[in-house]
Amino acid sequence: MDTLDSAQLGVEPGERATLVQFSTAFCQPCRATRRVLAQVAAMVDGVVHVEIDAEAHLTLVRRLRISRTPTVLVLDAAGRIVRRAAGVPRTADVVAALGQAI
C-alpha cells in the first residue's frame, strides 16, 4: 500500500487524515474540488487539505499513477492511501471516505 509523508506532501499531514488533491494550473474542475476539500477539512477536526501541482511533481505523479486532474487521495493518520477518486467529488462522498480513514 502506498504511503505519503510530510516530505512528499510539502506540509505536515493531518492528525487524523489528509485530503491530497493533484491539480494542474488550467484545470477548471480543480477549483471546484479545492472548494469541496477545503470545506470538508474545515468541518472535521484533525483533517488537512493539501493541493499538489501535478506538473511540478511528475515523479510522485508517476509513482502513484495519477492519470488526470483533479485526482483526490484520502490518507489515514499514518499516511496510507485508503481511497482515491478522479474528478470533482461530492461533499458527502468525501465525508464518507474520511470515515474509512479515521
59-70 tens-digit pLDDT: 999 999 999 999
Enter the pTM of the model. Answer: 0.95
Residue 56: partners with Cβ closer than 8 Å, 6 or more residues away: none
* Domains of the chain, CATH where assigned: 6-101 (3.40.30.10)
Task: Give, for all 102 residues of the chain, the pLDDT tens digit.
Answer: 689 999 999 999 999 999 999 999 999 999 999 999 999 999 999 999 999 999 999 999 999 999 999 999 999 999 999 999 999 999 999 999 999 899
DSSP state of 56: G
